[in-house]
A and B are shown apart, each in its own frame.
Chain A
């Protein structure tokens, strides 16, 4: 009798708990969204805009100091992801050539960087002496070699049947031809997951800009947003819009491209985690 009652109550309580958890995630973002449309000075408890308008967004998209960082974000994300995918796939493809002389040396050379690194300051000094600081090259190229993602890619490539490689070699395919004709088509899911991981990392990059770029013309949107929130870099406030509205609109603009794509791409992200960590 007692257990029957429990079974009926539990799903409801559990459901309620998860509704509350979801609200805890959503309310902060909802508040930002509301304030980005509210042209009046925001008041904390308000969860609906008082004076609705798009002026905040119009400012972000028409003010050059604001849309230029957005363009830089797009460019570095696209270029960076392409370079990063080339490096990861090339590296991973070479690492599955177990018979190749020097293969273990290459693998250990990459793995060692996961154990030990030069640290923030020596890295900064090297990049500075190579004249890479204060260029967009550094924020495109530096994060492109990610050994962890390269190893994920290798794990994926190892699942490709060896007989496919053999028959390709017998057909007279060069390594590059085999790579393009067999490896890449066989690993679309890995390319999607790992490519997305890179794209998100590039889009969200703040640390590399903070460390290596001091020229504010080269800031991406994360840097710009940070400056606005810290108050060191207030946007030009046009008539009829408060600074608070612009800040909130800027947050929404920077998360919007991802929010739109996210529901369609979620499975690839989840897959990426599962090839890495739960691999048997």
Chain B
């Protein structure tokens, strides 16, 4: 393609310019169609990128920004709350990712063993359902069910079993000891089912002759699951992990709607830290500082995406993720 262009450019530069102009004219309708997309991209994605300059300034939205160099970053690195939010983000995101994928893989393998097609369909319909509920709804459902009062289903059940006493119920979402445990379980409840879609798609592609051959070789059900079903999933598992690893820094809404002031030590993540520092601090917002934290977060996120893209190309025959 490039060579072609060069050859045509050699005889007369004027000619190729005319050629390009003619081509652009030919595609004029397409440029017009791309215009709205272009405008949206500029306004919503590129203008904010220019705003990153605030990270190097003192800016509160009232007075004009004044350049302060790296002062915001120095402040950030000296803040214990920043570091706790940073490590919380990585820990919570990554542990939740691995837990959900692990559970989804196990569920898929056993789901694949259900012979009755109607039963399988019903189960699939049910387990996909929570994925389509918003995090607000999920948080609402669980804050009602996990409530540390006689109205809470889980605590009432535990009292009935005699595990906890009626006047010492567990406040799952308001206790640093329990919050993450509850967060992971809610994450598994919400997303595992939907994760199985992609694994089931892979499993449906397995050649049935493989299973027949294994039967002839004397493999039982466990043998087939162990040596055919699970290895077939290996590639998909890797893909799902890579795709999601690229996004671990973006954790916001799910943590935000499930956390409260009592558990910020274990539940605060970078995006929620930025949110509280800007909108909930009670003082005049320091946009410069919170932009700096955001820039740090985006930079790490960018490195992660590029790393995952590289990894993906390595292990998936050249197919990247972006």
Contacts and interface: CB of A to CB of B under 8 A. Distances in A.
A182 interface: no
Contacts of B51: 118, 121-123, 125-126
A207 B115 CA distance: 42
Interface stretch (B41-49, B80-88, B90-98, B174-182): B41-49
B251 to A, nearest CB: 12
Nearest to A144: B40
A115 B306 contact: yes
Contacts of B137: 204, 222, 225, 251, 254-255
Contact of A101 (B20, B294, B305): B20
B128 A266 contact: yes
B318 to A, nearest CB: 13
A206 interface: yes
B130 A176 contact: no
Q: Which of A93, A126, A211 neighbours the largest number of chain B CB atoms within 10 Å of its CB?
A: A126
B48 A117 contact: yes
B133 A255 contact: yes
Nearest to B200: A270
B36 A90 contact: yes
Contacts of A62: none
Contact of A3 (B142, B160, B220, B239): B220
B68 interface: no
Interface string B86-125: 0000000000000000000001001101111001001101
Nearest to A109: B41
B298 A117 contact: yes
B151 A43 contact: yes
Contact of A175 (B33, B107, B156, B256): B33
A42 interface: yes
Contacts of A254: 134, 137
**Overall SS of chain A's interface:** helix
A238 interface: no
Interface in B245-290: 252-253, 256-257, 271, 274-275, 278, 287, 290
A236 interface: no
Contacts of A121: 51, 54, 274, 278, 287, 290-291, 294
Interface of B: 20, 23-24, 27, 29-31, 33-34, 36-38, 40-41, 43-45, 47-52, 54, 61, 107, 110-111, 113-116, 119, 122-123, 125-130, 132-137, 139-145, 149-157, 160, 189, 193-194, 197-198, 201-202, 220-221, 236, 239-240, 243, 252-253, 256-257, 271, 274-275, 278, 287, 290-291, 294-295, 297-298, 301-302, 305-306, 322
22 contacts: A21-B123, A22-B122, A22-B123, A26-B126, A32-B144, A90-B36, A100-B23, A102-B31, A106-B34, A109-B38, A114-B305, A118-B50, A120-B274, A121-B291, A122-B48, A122-B291, A125-B54, A145-B45, A206-B253, A229-B143, A244-B144, A278-B202
Given A90-B36, A106-B34, A211-B275, 5 more contacts: A18-B114, A45-B157, A91-B37, A118-B45, A175-B27
